[in-house]
Amino acid sequence: MALSVLYFASLREQMGGASQRVDCIEGESIAALAKRLASSRPDGGAALLEPSVRAARNQQLADRTELLCDGDEVAFFPPVTGG
């Protein structure tokens, strides 16, 4: 299974780019994917595990317990402040 993963705002810098293509394990949840991605980048990936970081699956806000399917797009984004 292959997924597209997108990173927004400060996560883009911390994860080393705006997007990446990753293999997904069948039955893997968004939370498990985030943990796996974070462990692959110890220098900045821990930000993915912060409770304030939101996830979207196929352009819809998603709970981290949702299971992923082949071809899904997963986006992670931190809270945004304006001013």
In tens, the pLDDT along 52-69 reads: 999 999 999 999 999 999
**pLDDT tens-digit series, residues 19-52:** 999 998 888 999 999 999 998 887 767 888 999 9
Query: Residue 57 falls within a domain, yes or no?
Result: yes
Smallest CA-to-CA distance from 4 within 74, 82, 78, 51 is with 74
Query: Residue 83 falls within a domain, yes or no?
Result: no
Q: How many domains in the chain?
A: 1
In this structure, the dihedral spanned by the alpha carbons of residues 67, 42, 44 and 52, taken in order and rounded to 10 degrees, is: 40
Query: Residue 50 falls within a domain, yes or no?
Result: yes
Query: Residue 9 falls within a domain, yes or no?
Result: yes
Query: Residue 26 falls within a domain, yes or no?
Result: yes
Query: Residue 38 falls within a domain, yes or no?
Result: yes
Domain hosting 44: range is 2-77
Taking the C-alpha atoms of residue 47 and residue 34, their distance in angstroms, rounded to an integer, is 9
Query: Residue 54 falls within a domain, yes or no?
Result: yes
What pTM was computed for the model?
0.90
Query: Residue 82 falls within a domain, yes or no?
Result: no
Residue 81 makes CB contacts below 8 A (sequence gap 6+) with: none
CATH (domain of 48): 3.10.20.30
